[in-house]
Amino acid sequence: MSAVEIICRNCGADALLHREAVYDGFAKTGEKLTCSSCGFEYASEAEVPFKSHKAEPQIFTEADRSAKIEVFDEGENRKICRYCANYTVNPFTQFCAIHKKEVQATDTCDRFAEAEEKDEADSLI
Ligand SMILES: [Zn+2]
C-alpha cells in the first residue's frame, strides 16, 4: 500500500491523502478525498495538491535562480564594463581601453576601475 503524499491547501501541512469510497446504496458513486491532517475535503482528484517528487526540484531551481539574480543586481553590477572608466562605447562597438578589444557592457574583468560620476567630473573643472 502506497501512501499518497499531499501538501494540504487548507492547513498547509505535509499530509496524506485519505481516499474513501462513496456509496449510494450498494453502488459506488465516487471517492471522497480528504486531508489526513485537517480533514479538508477535495471536490475532485484534480484539486488535490499532490506532493509530486517532480515539483520539488523545480521549486528549488526557481529559488536558486532568483537568488542569483539578486546577487547580480547588488554586487556584480558595479564591476561590469559598462561602469568601468576604461569602457568606451560608440555606435559601432564597445571597447575596453585596457585590453584593447571589443567587449560587452555586461562583461567583467579584474582590471575594473570605476568610472567617475559626471557630477564629480564637472566640479573638477
Ligand atoms: Zn489539511
Domain presence at residue 16: yes
Domain presence at residue 64: no
**Whether 44 contacts 71, CB under 8 Å:** no
Beta bridge pairs of residue 101: 96
What separation in Å is there between the alpha carbon of 2 and the centre of ligand 1?
A: 19
What separation in Å is there between the alpha carbon of 94 and the centre of ligand 1?
A: 58
Q: Residue 85 sits in which domain range?
A: 77-117
Domain presence at residue 105: yes
> pLDDT tens across 90-102, in order?
888 899 999 999 9
The pLDDT mean for the chain works out to: 80
Res. 2 pLDDT band, cuts 50 70 90: low
Domain presence at residue 54: no
Domain presence at residue 57: no
Domain presence at residue 86: yes
What separation in Å is there between the alpha carbon of 20 and the centre of ligand 1?
A: 16
Q: What is the pLDDT of residue 124?
A: 52
Which whole-number Å values give the CA distances from 31 to 8, 34, 50, 94, in the listed order?
18, 10, 16, 66
What separation in Å is there between the alpha carbon of 87 and the centre of ligand 1?
A: 58
Domain presence at residue 124: no
The reported pTM is 0.40
> pLDDT tens across 3-28, in order?
899 999 999 999 999 999 999 999 99
What separation in Å is there between the alpha carbon of 38 and the centre of ligand 1?
A: 4
Domain presence at residue 109: yes
d(CA 99, CA 43): 65
pLDDT of 53 strictly over 90: no
Q: In total, how many domains does the chain have?
A: 2
